Chains A and B, each alone.
Chain A
Amino acid sequence: MIYSITNFRLFSHFGLRRRVRWTFTVPLFLTAVLYLQGCDGGLAPPELKPFGSISGIITYSGSWPPADSLDDLRFIAMRFIPADTADFLQLNKMEISSSLDLFVDTDSFLIENVIPGGFFYSGVAQKFSIDLLAWRPVGLVEENGGIFEVEPASRTVVSIHVDFDHLPPFPPESQ
């Protein structure tokens, strides 16, 4: 490559234009090949681990809130302990069930395709207005201090009791 460039002016003086062009072509393609060698293919799908699942039984007691304050009701499992309702935006660190039935004594849920890992704050949450962050917990998983683990290719079963007359504090008192 160095030889080609340093001799370029000499070729030009003798009018060997085509030869000069190809002389320049060689280092160009050498550069391209070197670049190709440095390529690693870039972004790739992550290596997937077998999913787990979470299922549970929910029992209700107390007086249900008015229907107009029951915009939604779901089981939510969090991989962290929330400090504020703004933490509900951490959707990537939560597993959320489909909507639960309202005004019933008992219900169940199943969340599939859960990435294995630990969950530290989970329970049934009520959405009391249309606001995206208008959620509050109404009943928590209490076994083992509320902490459970989802293993690959296995189902973790939890139970929650919701007493609408005695709602759990939020943010959690331990925080």
Chain B
Amino acid sequence: MSVRNIISYCRLLRFLVTALIATACFSPGVAVGQINTGQAVKTGRLEGRVVHSDLSPFKGVNILIEGTRFGDVSDEKGRFVISDIRPGTYKLRVSAVGYQSHYTTFTIISAETTTIAVTLYETTIQSEEIIVTASRKEERLLTVAQSVSVVDAQELENRNSIQLDDVLRYVPGVHIQENQVNIRGSSGFAFNTGSRVLMLLDGMPFLTPDTDGVPFDILPFSQIERIEVLKGAGSAMYGSGSLGGTIQVITSGFPDTPQTHIRLHAMAYEPVRYSEWSDKWDAGEDVRFRTGVSFAHARRVSPKFGYWVDLAFRTDQGYLNYNTERVFVGFGKIGWTPSPSVRIDVLLGLLDRKKDSFLFWNGQDDVLNPGSLSIGGSAGPAPDAPPSGTNDVVNNQIILFPSLTHVISESFFYSVKGRVYGLGIRPINNETGDVESFEDGTVGVRAGAETQFNYLPSSMRSFTAGFSYDALVAESEFFESSTGSRSGKQPEFASFIQMEESSIQNIRITGGLRFDAYRVDNARTESQVSPRVSVSWSARDFLVLRASFGHGFRVPSIAERYTNNRDFFPIVRNVDLRPETSRSFETGIRLSRVLDGGHQVYTDLAFFHTAYADLIEPRLIPSLQAFQFVNLTSATISGLESTISWDFPGNAASFSVGYTFIDSEDDETGLPLPFRSQHLVVASASIAVLRSISVGMDARFASEPEEVDSDFALFVPDADQINTTKIVDFRLTYSRRAATVRLHIKNAFDYYYVERAAYFGMPRHFEIQVDLRF
């Protein structure tokens, strides 16, 4: 990208900013609602009452005028009052946990009181949750223009999720291949290097500094409020990495009453039923265990200060040879509100993990043992030689995310967020077992800051703009820059703006533009401009038609660009790698309705089409006699996704099923992209059998990929053997007062499958989980 182009983009950005501000200033809606014209404007008042379905008063209901910070909480008679509202038309949200949120439009007339009455109905569905990812601000799931799946805290607990992949396996359109997240076929398999899915933790980019991989372990699982999975390109909002989708993890706030949560869990892996496999590993016929404990405490100490801590420890013997793990994760968050208009949050996280990583098997006839590239004969690894299909390391990570939000007025506030994500990997000497120094491993840091301004001229219109800078540096014995340095650097700058307009009856239009520039190899600057536009039309209160277009890109990770090593495996650096890009279009229809008797049905049908360009894949380059990450090809992925869920009143039962059809094609070869399943199905059901006992079932299906990566299969035996995935889990839950006990049978039918190329999936395993809350 030349300097001239950067200047052109800057001019374009300046023009758009000017145009958007001009639109805001000269819009009639703004003049009526907010702008101080110098003339005295008499405000109005909103009064109301909230009742249950049996007409009894409803206390403690949250009432908020959307697009403003005006709100109230209903008193013991269900009454609420909001004063000093400027004349205009507004949308009101009335919500309470466990109840269907109510939305209504009302008009404030100067010096008059407007009165409304609201009835809230009990519900169990999550479809009305407020989410934030779609446009960096809160909005209803029903009206989001893109496809979004939400996993709430209850679902995390039900499945005893201790790693992110446990959570995502049952999200429609998501396919986990060991440690690689694949949303609607966006990713193949590359050992979690260069994720095409961006992960955010409380709005902060959260990918490992060295490989841009998704960190599966370092999350406060007892303090997660919800996880949102946004499908399709989203770089206009969050920049690099959001090529195929975005995962937003949102941590909990601080409860008014102190809460302590202790969890104990133990899992037993059943030995495989084939002696041909188990005989080749000394522990092949043993029951192997995973055990863990976590402690979390959250409280609001005063109206101004709250905190929570989340500590978790687990050990895992693993069901594969050379696959043991010991993990400690600690998180803490504090929230301080020194004045009504200022809020400060600080999130701190630590991870210490010792892990034998099983990289690839020794063939279909020896799936439990890692293979070896040692040239010592065809009958497997040479005697006494450590298998090269495993990697033993100690991994330390630290994150520090401070943020400040300052409300200047009812229509304007800004936030300043800092982020530091450090990573250190130390190899373990195979012969002595000693942990070697960081110099023999990898060290990386991603540190930066972001400022975001939010301007809400009316409840029908909003503007968001900001800029960010991140320093990204990683050093490894495997990296080599053009100057011969072992460190790779890739600082990034970004600016963004978006606007949302919903003044047209039942239509919501969102547009955004983001400019990203990054420095490569201390030699050149490259940039990306990412536009986004979306429209949703609420044809009925319960029915929304939607369409969206977005641009995505992913800057190559430091590992992809600078890895240069032939000690073990010949890989040559490629500093000239270009970013991968995507353009995704989606249209869909979403329905969420409460039926007679309180049953809630939610369904979403989406058609999507994404065009990818300059996809980066590792390839064997004959002229280099080595592998290299290269911009290989362009591709298109089209398909449809359907989600249906049905929730019964009073948590009596719930049922959901999601189906995704993926049609991928490499534009150059005409063949399907490798490692993509054409059909993905997830289904869940739970039933309250008695007051304190419920049973549940989860199932997932992924069809056999039409293509696999043939280069990988050249040297890893049977790496092209990938079968259909058909997994069913059962769970039984017993709850009494503060205690909940869950029994899980996962992969209940002991179906054997390949998790990803040359990696055997988990056989049947049994788990008991005890949760204590007080």
Q: By the criterion CB–CB under 8 Å, are A28 and B726 in contact?
A: no
Chain A CB within 8 A of B760 CB: yes
Interface pair B726/A45, CB less than 8 Å apart: no
Given known contacts A28-B655, A39-B726, A96-B378, what 9 new A-B pairs fall within 8 Å (CB)? A9-B595, A12-B599, A24-B687, A35-B726, A42-B724, A43-B754, A98-B376, A113-B377, A132-B568
| B622 contacts the other chain (CB 8 A) | yes
A158 to chain B minimum Cβ distance, whole angstroms, is 16
CB distance from A79 to the nearest CB of B (A): 11
Contact indicator B721/A91 (Cβ below 8 Å) = no
* A161 CB within 8 Å of chain B: no
Closest to A39 in B: B749
Q: In the complex, A98 Cα to B751 Cα: how many Å? A: 38
A85 at the interface (CB under 8 A from B): yes
A55 lies within 8 A of chain B by Cβ: no
In the complex, whether A115 has a CB less than 8 A from a CB of chain B is yes
**Quick check: B377 and A43 within 8 Å, CB to CB?**
no
Given A21-B688, A112-B379, A131-B566, answer yes or no on A38-B726 (Cβ-Cβ < 8 Å): yes
Q: In the complex, what residues of A have CB within 8 A of residue B375's CB?
A: 72, 74, 91, 96
A44 within 8 A of B: yes
Binary contact track B746-763/A, C-beta < 8 Å → 1, others 0: 000111111000001000
Binding site for A on B (CB under 8 A): 274, 276-277, 364-365, 367, 373, 375-379, 382, 566-570, 595-597, 599, 620-622, 625-626, 648, 650, 652-653, 655, 685, 687-689, 697, 699, 713-717, 721, 723-724, 726, 728, 749-754, 760
- Chain B residue numbers with a CB within 8 Å of A98 are 376-377, 382
A43 touches B378 (CB 8 A): no
Q: Which residues of B contact A44 (CB under 8 A)?
A: 274, 752
Report whether B752 and A132 are in contact in the complex, using a CB–CB cutoff of 8 Å: no
Cβ–Cβ contact B752 & A42, under 8 A: yes
Query: Which residues from chain B contact A132 at a C-beta distance below 8 Å?
Result: 566, 568-570
B interface: dominant SS: loop
| Bound complex: CA A95 to CA B377 (Å) | 6
Complex CA distance for A39 and B728, rounded to whole angstroms: 10
Asked if A133 and B625 sit within 8 Å, CB to CB, the answer is yes
Report B-chain residues with C-beta under 8 Å of the C-beta of A92: 713-717
**Is A90 part of the binding interface, using a Cβ–Cβ cutoff of 8 Å?**
yes
Cβ–Cβ < 8 Å partners of A93 in chain B: 714
- In the complex, how many angstroms separate the beta carbon of B231 from the nearest chain A beta carbon? 26
CB closest chain-A residue, reference B653: A24
| B760–A43 touching, CB < 8 Å | yes
Residues 74-115 of chain A: 1 if any B CB is under 8 Å from the residue's CB, otherwise 0? 100000000011100111111111100000000000011111
Contact (Cβ within 8 A) A96 B723: no
Residues of A within 8 A of B622 (CB): 84, 86
Q: Can you report 16 A-B residue pairs in the complex whose CB atoms are below 8 A from each other?
A: A21-B653, A21-B688, A21-B689, A39-B726, A41-B750, A42-B724, A42-B726, A43-B760, A44-B274, A92-B714, A92-B717, A112-B379, A113-B378, A115-B378, A131-B566, A131-B570
Which B residue's beta carbon lies closest to that of A129? B566
- Known contacts being A21-B687, A32-B697, A35-B699, is A48 close to B365, with CB within 8 Å? yes
- Give the complex CA separation of A38 and B728 in angstroms: 12
Asked whether, in the complex, the Cβ of B728 is within 8 Å of the Cβ of A35, the reply is yes
Contact B699 A45, beta carbon cutoff 8 Å: no
Residues of B within 8 A of A12 (CB): 596-597, 599
Hey, which chain B residues are within 8 Å of A32, CB to CB? 697, 728
